[in-house]
Amino acid sequence: MRKSILLLAATSMALGLLTVSGCSNNKKDKYTKDGKLMVSMRNLYFSSYKGGDSYIEEVENKFKLKFSFETYDWANWETQVTGSINGQNMEDVFHANIDSYNFATTYKFWAEEELVKPLPEDMSKWPNIQTVLENTSNIESLKVNGRLYGLPIAKNTTDYSTSFSPFTYIYRRDWAKKWGVYKENDEYTWAEFEALLEKFKVELAPYNKYALADVEWGFPSIPNFYKQVPHCFAQDNTGKYVCNYTTDEYVAGLNKSQDFMSNGWYHPDQNSAADGVMNAKYYSNQVGVLYENLSYSNYIALKNNLRKTNVDTPNFEINDAIALMKIKGENNKYSLEGTDNWFSMTFFDYRISDNKQEKMLDVLDWLLSEEGTRFSVYGFEGYDYDVVGGEVVIKPEAWPKDTNGEYAPKDNGASYLRNLISLGYDTLEMNPLTDKDAVDYLNAWDAEMKTALANNELRVLKETSEVMWLTTQKKSLNANNMRETALKNVMKYVYKNGITTIDDFKSKFNNKTWQEVLDEINAATGH
Amino acid sequence: MIKPLKLALLGVVGLLSLSACSQGRRKVTDKAEVHFYKEDINQQSFGGLGVEWGAYEDTDKLIEGGWDLVLKHMDHLGAARIRLMINYDWFCQNFDDKGDFDKTNDTWTYNYTNKYAKNMIEILEYCQTHNIDVAFGAWNVIGTLGNDVWNMMDEVTSDIRWAKISADTLDFLVNKKGFTCIKWFVSSNEPNWLGAQGASKNFNNTYEKWAQGVKNVRKAFDEIGLQKVGIVGGDTTGFEGCEEYLLNISKGLKKEVADYGAHLYLSNIMVDRGQMYDGIVDLYSRIKKNDKRLGKTIQADIWEAGLRDGKTALDCQTLIGTANYAVRMTDYTLQALAAGINGICYWDFDDAMHFMYTNNSVTPKEWGMFSSLAEASAGAQELRPWYHTSSLLCHLFKKGNKILSPVMAEDDENQTFRSVATVSQDGKQGGFAAVNAGFKSVTKNFFLTEKVEGEQTYVYIFNENSYRLGDDGYIIPNYVIDKSINNEFKLEIPSSTAVVFSNERL
C-alpha cells in the first residue's frame, strides 16, 4: 500500500523533512500518431547520445515504441535521481547508482514505499533477463518482500565470476627500464615498489614531475595493502564488527601513506585536485605511477590521451607507458577491492503501466539475445555487415577508419539501450571498435589475479554480505555519512591538517553514532 | 600537392564520353539516365552554402600568420553565408544586480575592445565586404556551470536581460558599425538539447521559455529599427528536436521567426540510405501545412551540418580528414537541397575556433576543414578533403540560383545515387553534382536541358583516389571538356564517389 512519505533525512541529499505524495495517478500510456507507445528514459550512459539514429528507429519499429532520452551529470547523478523521485517527475525508465552504503536510503526505501515498480513475479517470459538475475551476486539482498524492484546492470553477461575491481596501478614501464628499476613481468615486491618510487622521484624532480598519484576518489590507495575491508565495518578476531578506520591494520596503512607523502613520492596537488586532474597528470607525462579504476573504458581513454600527448615523442611505445603494475604488499600478497558482478540499476517509475514495463522488458531481453546483441554491436546485416560462412564480416564502407587507420566511433542507439541491462563488457571481444590488444592485456591481468586468488596470493577487500546489505535503522540513516566523514578525517591526518596524532585521529571515531551503529550491527548479526 | 592523376585517369578515362544533348524526355526507364528538366525546379532562389565561422575562443593559439591563412581559405571556399556565434560573457562586465532579485534594475556595461570583440569584428568586416550573409547569435546565457552569476539559467533566454543584451549588441554591430551582412539572429544554440544539470547551462530550457525569449528579442529589435534582422527558429538539433520546435513555431510563432533552422548531425547510414532526404521531406511538409509561406517568403535552413559517426567524447570528428567524409557530406548536401533546404552551414571551418573544456584539459574541437592552431600537427594544418568538396559545392550552388531535381528511373541502383543541378537566374552559370553512395560502380548519362552559357565543362571527380589539387593546394578539375554542359555526359562513377560538372572553373 503506497502512502504519503515522510523522509527523515533519509536520502544522501539530506533533504530534511519532506513530504512526498506517492499517490499520484498512474501514467496513462501515450502513443504516437503511428501507434508507438512513448517511453521516456534517463540514463547516465546517454550523456553522449541524442537519439534519432537508424538503429534506434529499428528497435522502435520492431517493438512499436518511441523512446525519448535524457541523461544525468556524473557528479550529480545521485542528487538528480533522488530529486526526481522526491519531485515525482522521474522518467518511465531511469538509472540509479545502488551500492551497499546507499541501499537502505534508495532502493529499499523506494521499494517499500512503492516509488519504483517491481518486476513481474514471473520472469520466465524474458529468459535472457532471467539468466542475468539468476547470476547476479547478492540478488537475494535486493529483494524486498520477495520482489525485485529493478534490474541490476550486469558487468559481463558472459562471465559472472567477477569478484574484484580493477582498481590498481599503471606505470611508466619505459621510465622504469630507462632508470634501471624495472622488474620482470611488472611484478614488484613492496620494497621494489618503494625503490621504484624513490628512483622516479630523483629522476623526475628536476622537471617538476612526480612519482605517484592516486585518482582523487581513491586517495590514499596505500592503506589497501593493509586494511581488512574497503570502508567502515571490519571485524576483530572474534568476528565482532568494529570501526575499520581505527584498526591496527588501517592505521598502519595510514601511517604508510603519510610516509609516502613526506618522502615526496606523491604529487603535491593530490590534496586539492579536482576529479580527473591526477589522471591528466599521468597522461601528460607529469607522473610515473597512477592508481586508477582501470576498467576497459578508462584504460582506453588513458591510452588514447597518452598517445595524443606523445604524438611527437620519438620512439614512443604506448604499451610501455601504460603498463599494469603488480605490487605485493609487505605481507607478500596482492590486494584488490572486492566488487559485485553488477553496477547500478535500471528502475521503472511505479506509475507506468504493466504493458509499458513488459514492452521494455521485451526490448531488453531481445537485446541480450544473440540477434539483439549482434544488432547492438554490428547494426544492419547487408549494410553494416555480411554473414559469410556463418561468421560476421563487417563492411568497410559502413565502418570507416580515420586517417590513423583506426575504426571511427559509430553511433548505434541500440548499444546505448543495451546499457540498461549490461555494461557491455560481454560485447568487447566482438566489437570492431574495441582495442583488442587492450582487452587481451586486461584479460591477462584479470586471469593472473584470479590465479593469485586461487593460490592465496591475493587479498580481496570486501565487507561481509551480512553487514553490507544490512538495513537496520541507525546503519541505514548514518552509514553513508559515517563513511564520508571518515574519509575527510583520513585526509586531515595524512596531510597533518587539523589532525596531527593517531590518538586524535582515532578519537574522531569514538562517538555515539559509531558506537550505536556498531552495537546495532553486532546485535543484528549475533556478535 | 597534386593527387595521383594517373589513378584517376585509369579509373575514369575512356568511360567519359560525349554525345549530342537529348531533348526532354519526361518518362525515364533507363536506370543510367539522369535528366534535369527546366520545369523541375525544386527551388526558385537558393540561399547558398557556407560554414560555421564562429568567433575564435582564443586567437592567441593560432600559428604565426594564422589569420591570413584563415582568410585565404575563406576566399577560396566561396561561402555565401556563415553562422557566427559569440558568448555574451566576453563582452558584458561590471554587472550589478543591485542586491535584489529584481532583474529590471540590473546594470552592466559592454567591452567591445577585447580580443574576442576584435576577432568578431574582423569576421563581420570580411563578410560585409565579401557579400556573405551572416546568422549571428550567442551560444547561451551568461554564467558558468559553477557560477550562475547572473542567475540566468533558470529562465534561460526568456530572462528579460537576454533580449536587452541581444538588442544592445545588434544595435552596436548593425546600427553603429554598419554590419548589414547580419541577416539573422540566433537566439541561443540548440535550445532543445538540455544536457544534464551541472554539465549544461541549458538543462532548464523548454520550448515555452525559448519562445518567450524570441518574442522579447523581436520586440527589442523592432524598437531599435532592426526589422531586417530575422530570428532563426529554433536552431534545434536532431529531427525530433526540430519536430517539436519547428512545428510549434509554424503554429504560434510565425510573426516572430524568420527562418526555420535546424542542426542535423546524422549517422552514415541515414545519409547512405537516403533516409535523410525522407526525414526532411516529411518534416518540411508538416511545417508547410501550418505555414504556407515555407519555400516562398520563409525558408528552411540547416545551420549546423555534420556527420555523427566518428564523433568522440571530446567532441572531435575522427573521420574529418577522410575522403569518405567529404563524399558523404556532398551526399548530405544534395539530399538536403533536393528536399527543399534553402541553405546550409557546414560545421565547421577551422579547428581553432572552439574548444572542449574539462576539469583537466582544454582540447580543440576537431571538426574543421583545416586547423590554424599552432599546436596542431602539420597534417592537421593542411586542408582536409571536405574543404575541397565544400568549396566545389559553395561555388556551384550559388546564392540566388535555381535548384533542379533530377528525373530518374525507379531502380534499386538509384536508391543510393543522388544528383542535383543548379542554374543561375541569368543562365550564365550552372552545372550539377552527383554522388554514388552504393557499394558498386554505376554508369550514368547526365542531361541538363536548362540552357547554360559557355562552351567548356569542368569535371571534378572526388574519391580517395581521384581528386586533384593544384600547386596552390586547392582543388582543380580532373577534366576540362570543350563542350557545353548542355551536352549528354556519360560517366562510370565508382562506389563512394562524388562528381561535379560545371560550366565554369570552381
- Domain edge (last residue) among A427, A450, A473: A427
The rounded distance, in Å, linking the Cα atoms of B379 and B130 is: 29
A393 touches chain B (CB under 8 A): no
Note whether residue A134 is domain-resident.
yes
Give mean pLDDT, residues B240-264: 95
- Domain edge (last residue) among A369, A402, A427: A427
Here the contacts of A173-180 (C-beta below 8 Å, separation 24 or greater) are A173/A320, A173/A321, A173/A323, A174/A317, A174/A320, A174/A321, A175/A200, A175/A203, A175/A288, A176/A200, A176/A288, A177/A320, A179/A203
Note whether residue A73 is domain-resident.
yes
- Domain edge (last residue) among B396, B426, B442: B396
Amino acid B359: pLDDT: 66
Of B237, B310, B377, the CB nearest to A408: B310
Amino acid B360: pLDDT: 66
- Tell me: pLDDT of B446 over 80: yes
Of A76, A279, A397, the CB nearest to B197: A76
Same domain, A383 and A304: no
pLDDT band at residue B179, thresholds of 50, 70 and 90? very high
Residue ranges, chain A, pLDDT below 50: 1-23
Buried b (16+ CB within 10 A) or exposed e, A120-153: eeebeebebbebbbebbbeeebbebeeebbbbbb
Buried b (16+ CB within 10 A) or exposed e, A19-37: ebebeeeeeeeeeeeeebb
The rounded distance, in Å, linking the Cα atoms of B496 and B441 is: 9
Instruction: Burial-class residue A332 by CB neighbours within 10 Å (0-12, 13-18, 19+).
Output: exposed
Spatial contact of B496 and B436, defined as CB atoms under 8 Å apart: yes
C-alpha cell at B436: 554514388
- Tell me: pLDDT of B107 over 50: yes
Same domain, A300 and A371: no
Q: Name the minimum distance, in Å, from the CA of B191 to any CA of chain A.
A: 13
The rounded distance, in Å, linking the Cα atoms of B497 and A397 is: 12
Amino acid A334: pLDDT: 97
Q: If you write DSSP's letter for every residue of A129-191 in order, what string do you get?
A: HHHHHHHSTTGGGGEETTEE-SEEEES-TT-----B--EEEEE-HHHHHHTT---GGGEE-HH
A386 touches chain B (CB under 8 A): no
Pairing mode, strands B107-110 and B475-476: unpaired
Same domain, B35 and B66: no
Which residue from B300, B304, B392 is spatially nearest to B343, judged by alpha carbons? B300
| Domain carrying residue A510 | 167-337+463-525
Question: What's the structural domain count of chain A?
Answer: 2
Helix (H) or strand (E) holding A501: none
Amino acid B16: pLDDT: 57
Bridge partners, residue A194, by sequence: none
**The model's pTM:** 0.86
The rounded distance, in Å, linking the Cα atoms of A417 and A376 is: 8
Looking at residue B484, what DSSP letter applies? Answer: -
| Domain carrying residue B11 | 5-44+401-502
Same domain, B146 and B295: yes
Please list every residue in chain B whose beta carbon sits closer than 8 Å to the beta carbon of residue A408.
Answer: 309-310, 318-319
Q: Name the minimum distance, in Å, from the CA of A173 to any CA of chain B.
A: 24
A279 touches chain B (CB under 8 A): yes
User: Is the peptide bond prior to A259 cis by the omega test (within 30 degrees of 0)?
Assistant: no
The rounded distance, in Å, linking the Cα atoms of A338 and A419 is: 22
Residue of A nearest to B275 (CA): A54
Question: What's the structural domain count of chain B?
Answer: 2
pLDDT band at residue B354, thresholds of 50, 70 and 90? very high
A310 touches chain B (CB under 8 A): no
Residues 212-271 on B with a CB inside 8 Å of A are 237-240, 267-270
Note whether residue A438 is domain-resident.
no
Amino acid A25: pLDDT: 67
Same domain, B324 and B437: no
Question: Is B318's CB within 8 Å of A47's CB?
Answer: no
Spatial contact of B355 and B58, defined as CB atoms under 8 Å apart: yes
Q: Give the torsion sign (CA, B377, B379, B384, B388).
A: positive
Give mean pLDDT, residues B103-132: 97
Cα–Cα–Cα angle for B488, B394, B493, rounded to 5 degrees? 40
Question: Is B199's CB within 8 Å of A73's CB?
Answer: yes
pLDDT band at residue B5, thresholds of 50, 70 and 90? very low
Q: Please report, rounded to a whole number, the percentage of residues in chain B having pLDDT higher than 90.
A: 85
- Domain edge (last residue) among B396, B426, B461: B396
Q: To 10 degrees, the CA torsion angle through A216, A234, A461, A264?
A: 40
Higher pLDDT, A509 or B359: A509
Which spans in B261-312 are helix H?
Answer: 268-272, 275-290
Higher pLDDT, A165 or B196: A165
Give mean pLDDT, residues B35-58: 95
Of A75, A301, A312, the CB nearest to B198: A75
The single residue listed with the C-alpha cell 553603429 is B176
A14 touches chain B (CB under 8 A): no
Note whether residue A115 is domain-resident.
yes
Give mean pLDDT, residues B468-485: 97
DSSP SS3 for B336: helix
Same domain, B311 and B438: no
Of A73, A76, A397, the CB nearest to B439: A397
- Tell me: pLDDT of B358 over 80: no
Integer Rg of chain A from CA: 25
Same domain, B491 and B416: yes
Note whether residue A23 is domain-resident.
yes
Amino acid B500: pLDDT: 98
Q: If you write DSSP's letter for every residue of A105-131 in order, what string do you get?
A: IIIIHHHHTT-BPPPPS--TT-HHHHH
Question: Is A409's CB within 8 Å of B312's CB?
Answer: yes
Q: What is the CATH number of the domain that holds A35?
A: 3.40.190.10
The phi and psi torsions of A254 (rounded to 5 degrees) equal: -65, -45
A81, A380, A394, A402: which to substitute to probe chain B, counting the most B Cβ within 10 Å? A402
Same domain, B284 and B412: no
- Domain edge (last residue) among B370, B396, B422: B396
Lowest mean pLDDT among A16-25, A154-163, B71-80, B163-172: A16-25
Same domain, B180 and B318: yes
Same domain, B423 and B382: no
- Tell me: pLDDT of B79 over 90: yes
- Domain edge (last residue) among A399, A427, A455: A427
Amino acid A406: pLDDT: 87
Question: Is A53's CB within 8 Å of B308's CB?
Answer: yes
Same domain, B406 and B307: no
Note whether residue A40 is domain-resident.
yes
C-alpha cell at B23: 531533348
The rounded distance, in Å, linking the Cα atoms of B366 and B347 is: 10
Same domain, A331 and A352: no
Buried b (16+ CB within 10 A) or exposed e, B65-75: ebbebbeebbe
Same domain, B106 and B250: yes
Same domain, B36 and B140: no
Spatial contact of A39 and A93, defined as CB atoms under 8 Å apart: yes
The single residue listed with the C-alpha cell 546485535 is A523
Give me the total of CB pairs closer than 8 Å, taking one residue from chain A and one from chain B.
107
Average pLDDT, chain B: 92
Neighbouring residues of A505: CB distance < 8 A, sequence distance ≥ 6: A245, A246, A251, A254, A489, A492, A493, A499
Give mean pLDDT, residues B459-468: 95
DSSP SS3 for A343: strand
The single residue listed with the C-alpha cell 582495442 is A435
Same domain, A315 and A372: no
Spatial contact of A122 and A147, defined as CB atoms under 8 Å apart: no
Amino acid A241: pLDDT: 96
Looking at residue B55, what DSSP letter applies? Answer: P
Distance of CA B232 to CAs A247, A508, B96, B298, B348, Å?
Answer: 65, 60, 30, 11, 19
DSSP SS3 for A484: helix
Which spans in B171-267 are helix H?
Answer: 207-223, 238-252
Same domain, A154 and A222: no
- Tell me: pLDDT of B22 over 90: no
Sheet holding A37-42, edge to edge: A65-70, A37-42, A93-96, A342-348, A151-154
Distance of CA A272 to CAs A18, A219, A264, Å?
Answer: 34, 11, 16
Which residue from B165, B171, B182 is spatially nearest to B258, judged by alpha carbons? B182
Question: Is A408's CB within 8 Å of B196's CB?
Answer: no
Same domain, A236 and A148: no
Pairing mode, strands B442-448 and B33-36: parallel
Which residue from B84, B98, B215, B241 is spatially nearest to B159, judged by alpha carbons? B215
Count other C-beta atoms under 10 Å from residue B341's C-beta.
25
The phi and psi torsions of A362 (rounded to 5 degrees) equal: -60, -45
Q: What is the ipTM of this complex?
A: 0.82
The single residue listed with the C-alpha cell 630507462 is A178
Spatial contact of B421 and B7, defined as CB atoms under 8 Å apart: no
Amino acid A395: pLDDT: 93
The rounded distance, in Å, linking the Cα atoms of A28 and A30 is: 6
- Let me know how many helices (H) and strands (E) chain B has, helices first: 11, 26
Same domain, A353 and A406: yes
Amino acid B121: pLDDT: 97
Q: What is the CATH number of the domain that holds B25?
A: 2.60.40.1180
Spatial contact of B19 and B490, defined as CB atoms under 8 Å apart: yes
Which residue from A411, A416, A432 is spatially nearest to A53, judged by alpha carbons? A411
DSSP SS3 for A321: helix
Q: To 10 degrees, the CA torsion angle through A370, A374, A375, A381?
A: -110
Neighbouring residues of B217: CB distance < 8 A, sequence distance ≥ 6: B157, B162, B163, B166, B167, B185, B187, B231
Same domain, B435 and B329: no
Question: Is B272's CB within 8 Å of A403's CB?
Answer: no
Which spans in B111-150 are helix H?
Answer: 115-129
Note whether residue A443 is domain-resident.
no
Count other C-beta atoms under 10 Å from residue A57's C-beta.
19
Note whether residue A477 is domain-resident.
yes
Same domain, A307 and A350: no
